[in-house]
A and B are shown apart, each in its own frame.
Chain A
Amino acid sequence: MQKKPEGLDFSTVIASTVHDMKNSLGMLMQAYQQWSADLPADLTDNRERGVIEYESLRLNGMLVQMLSLYKLGVNQLPMRPAWMEVEDFLQAQLARHNEILGSRHITGSYEVEEDGQLAFFDAELVGSVVGNVINNSIRYARSAIHLKAWTEDEQLVLSISDDGQGYPPSMIEDQSDYVLGINMSTGSTGLGLYFGQRIAELHQRNGQKGHIQLLNGGPLNGGEFRIYLP
């Protein structure tokens, strides 16, 4: 790359910068965790801590999403599906948000339809989608977030629901626009949905592609995000 800087297109510049940013952010988060672990509890149990942890995880998620979208664009996103225990997967998603959920007094729970249920998907990619959705839900939830997994027409369905106000009705109505990327410019939520849809679509079986869906109501009577994986 250093040999001919005039040949660099801007998306490559962004991608490699995002990569560096992600590393820096990682170091920051690590240093912060280290530092706060050494402080007495009454100094760290405050609102600012929650903000730092929440926003840094959110930033991290956005950077991952950006990098993945870039790679999707240049057909370089590695897809490595494998058999995965769904319960493990859901637990791992909650564990990543453990501190934030705790500091915001939100209960995170999960349920799987059957014990030891296995599913075939790329845990890394789907994990970044679910992680972003959880992060979003944390902002809107009052006191609870619930993850659920079940099978519908031989497809795995993962849902993330909260007890917040739910999605604005316009978003529910226009969701196909969001997933097509048409409404991308209206805000970060749109880009997140677009990302989720693309990752879902990468999962295919016998010609059937995955997709996402937004609902209101849900088990906690708030918003519900579903990702269908064939």
Chain B
Amino acid sequence: MIDYSKNRFLVVDDFSEFRTSVIGMLRLMAVKQADSAPRGEDAIAMCRNTQYDVILHDYNLGAGKNGQQVLEELHHLKLISPHCIFVMCTAESSQAMVMSALECEPDAYLTKPFNRASLQQRLDKLVERKTALKPILDALAKQDHRAVLAACEKVTVEHKRFAPQCLRYQANALKALGQRAELEKLLQAQLTDRPMPWAIIALGNLWLEQGKLEQALELFRSAISQFPMLPALFDGLAAVMAAMGEPKQAQEYIEQGIKISPNSLQRQQSLGKLAKANGDFDNAVRAYRQAVDLGQNSQFRDPESHLGLAASLNEQAGDQAPNPRAVLEIRKTLGDLGKSWKGDANLQVRAQLMEASTLIKTGDQREADKLIQQASTQLGELDTFFSAEVALEVAEQLKALGQEEQAKGILHTCAEMYGDDANVMHLIAEQTDDPAILNGGKAAQELNRQGIRLYQQKQFAEALPLFREAQALQPRNISFALNTAQSLLRMLLAQPDPELKAQCLDCLDQVRSMPASDARYERYQKLCNTVAGL
């Protein structure tokens, strides 16, 4: 018999009869501490104050957040530990499973109606499982992925029946550690025998990341005939198509995924983006509108949905003035953006430019000029620069608004910061043929390439001057600065030198305006902290 008297329970359901009935069952199982709540929002608030051991959560709660959204937010906000047992209660569990994101699954689904015997049997098993997996969960709570791997090996040996669960933890840990070859081997071994949806998606995404597009395509396609109701497979196919340069097909796949599961914010957002890029503004408007709506009470709301909606409404009208209703919606959307992300100057600039282009179409040149003026001033004072993608968009906008010089300035900075990425340079070349922008980085890039070669051969002292020279040519280039800093750090670790340390900090300071969304941001911060701590 498992002793539940010390465990804290939370029951979330919109029907009070159900809550009372479940709490009644729990009392018969000797549960002493059981809270209940009618809405997912309440559940999140309660989890801020109390560490629950078991949460029984209804999937479909009517108007507010559904159970899956609550679970995702609880994870995102780190309000529940891996030790917590989260059971999704559903009137029709197959439906909920379809909706469920594969990264964030509940520990179990329990089909309503259920009786006390079923509840107890399920909970007993879950407690047993969590107890057996405790070494893994402990390591997971500390985000120590190496320890997770070690614990998985141990648990697999000691409790053979939990081996399938261990495999999944193992795969996640390998992914977090970036051990791609091992991950690929593990997933492939799994899939030769049994087609597990999670493993299919993990392998497909891994291949996509590695650029093995044909393989990923084949895997996702064959999986769809077996699991036609898994939206994550369509997401995967869409991503592969986009990577293959087939945005129209990508859009079709995303649309199929949306048919199965329309309430996913990220999925609607991807659709908006693809449809907008494909010039299908009607669908873009629809998708972005959904995304803004879904984001209203969500932790995952993203200002790009607002900007995308405003832009698509604007584009929908072509060269004409958008109709008054559309103008109103653009205003409202941008107003909401301004209020919700008040302190974000980059977003303000983009919203101002967006509104200016609508104003010009409606004939209000004077108001538009005022906004453009404001935006230009703010552009010069930004603390962080845009990501390459956004910078290109802003440059295009500025050009369309007749601000040639400003647009060039943005492209120039973009080329300097991100120019070592051939893709970015390719996109910049679509907007300008100014040789100063297009060729400005060539010499520095060559130096950087040579530096990397030497660094890889562990010739750090020889690599450093090359990186330094590259950085001197393009002080704001993120890669050059990070490479210089890292080489300096190598030398500092061998022999402390205040002069070198100062140089190192100085070179990191040159790229302080890199956006936090950049993939290298974590590396940058780590370097800053390490060097400062020496």
B21 touches A30 (CB 8 A): yes
Chain A residues positioned under 8 Å from B117 (CB to CB): 95-96, 98-99
Q: What class of interface size applies to chain B in its complex with A? A: 35 or more
Confirm or deny: A140 has a beta carbon within 8 angstroms of a beta carbon on chain B: no
Among B93, B115, B161, the residue within 8 A (CB) of A96 is B115
B118 touches A33 (CB 8 A): no
Binds B, one of A6-14, A19-27, A159-167, A169-177: A19-27
Chain B residues positioned under 8 Å from A64 (CB to CB): 92
Determine the residue in chain B with the shortest Cβ distance to A37: B24
Q: How far is the CB of A214 from chain B (nearest CB, A)?
A: 26
CA distance A75 to B98 in the complex (A): 13
Within 8 A of B (CB), among A23-40: 23, 25-27, 29-31, 33-34, 37
Among B112, B113, B194, the residue within 8 A (CB) of A205 is B194
Q: How far is the CB of A113 from chain B (nearest CB, A)?
A: 14
**Residue interface bits A79-91, CB-to-B below 8 A is 1, else 0:** 1111101001001
A26 touches B161 (CB 8 A): no
A75 touches B228 (CB 8 A): yes
B17 touches A31 (CB 8 A): yes
CA distance A116 to B196 in the complex (A): 20
Among A23, A33, A78, the residue within 8 A (CB) of B230 is A78
Among A71, A80, A83, the residue within 8 A (CB) of B197 is A80
Confirm or deny: B15 has a beta carbon within 8 angstroms of a beta carbon on chain A: yes
Confirm or deny: A67 has a beta carbon within 8 angstroms of a beta carbon on chain B: yes
Q: How far is the CB of A96 from chain B (nearest CB, A)?
A: 5
Among A23, A34, A37, the residue within 8 A (CB) of B91 is A23
Confirm or deny: A150 has a beta carbon within 8 angstroms of a beta carbon on chain B: no
CA distance A205 to B15 in the complex (A): 42
Interface centre among A30, A34, A37, A76 (most CB of B within 10 A): A30
Secondary structure type dominating chain A contacts: helix
Determine the residue in chain B with the shortest Cβ distance to A84: B164
Q: What class of interface size applies to chain A in its complex with B? A: 35 or more
Chain A residues positioned under 8 Å from B120 (CB to CB): 95
CA distance A77 to B230 in the complex (A): 10
Determine the residue in chain A with the shortest Cβ distance to B114: A96
B113 touches A79 (CB 8 A): no
CA distance A82 to B229 in the complex (A): 16
Among B24, B125, B197, the residue within 8 A (CB) of A88 is B125
Chain A residues positioned under 8 Å from B161 (CB to CB): 85, 116, 118
CA distance A80 to B164 in the complex (A): 15
Chain B residues positioned under 8 Å from A76 (CB to CB): 228-229
Chain A residues positioned under 8 Å from B95 (CB to CB): 78
CA distance A129 to B229 in the complex (A): 20
B227 touches A79 (CB 8 A): yes
Chain A residues positioned under 8 Å from B20 (CB to CB): 34
Confirm or deny: B279 has a beta carbon within 8 angstroms of a beta carbon on chain A: no
Among B17, B97, B98, B227, the residue within 8 A (CB) of A30 is B17
CA distance A96 to B97 in the complex (A): 20
Confirm or deny: A216 has a beta carbon within 8 angstroms of a beta carbon on chain B: no
Within 8 A of B (CB), among A70-120: 71, 75-83, 85, 88, 91-92, 95-96, 98-99, 116, 118, 120
A22 touches B17 (CB 8 A): no
Chain A residues positioned under 8 Å from B15 (CB to CB): 27
Among A26, A77, A124, the residue within 8 A (CB) of B93 is A124
Chain B residues positioned under 8 Å from A26 (CB to CB): 91, 112-113
Q: How far is the CB of B96 from chain A (nearest CB, A)?
A: 10
Confirm or deny: B195 has a beta carbon within 8 angstroms of a beta carbon on chain A: yes
Confirm or deny: A60 has a beta carbon within 8 angstroms of a beta carbon on chain B: yes
CA distance A65 to B18 in the complex (A): 24
**Residue interface bits B172-213, CB-to-A below 8 A is 1, else 0:** 000000000000000000000011110000000000000000
Chain B residues positioned under 8 Å from A205 (CB to CB): 194
Within 8 A of A (CB), among B59-106: 91-95, 97-98
B91 touches A22 (CB 8 A): yes
Q: How far is the CB of A44 from chain B (nearest CB, A)?
A: 14
Q: How far is the CB of A104 from chain B (nearest CB, A)?
A: 15
Q: Which 6 pairs from chain A and chain B are nearest by CB?
A: A83-B164, A98-B117, A78-B229, A95-B117, A116-B161, A95-B121
28 pairs of residues in contact across A and B, judged by CB atoms under 8 Å: A22-B91, A25-B113, A26-B113, A27-B15, A29-B113, A30-B21, A34-B21, A37-B24, A60-B113, A76-B229, A77-B94, A77-B229, A80-B97, A80-B197, A81-B195, A83-B194, A85-B125, A88-B121, A92-B122, A95-B117, A95-B120, A95-B121, A96-B115, A98-B117, A116-B161, A124-B93, A124-B109, A124-B111
Interface positions of B (Cβ within 8 A of A): 15, 17-18, 20-21, 24, 91-95, 97-98, 109, 111-118, 120-122, 125, 160-161, 163-164, 194-197, 226-230
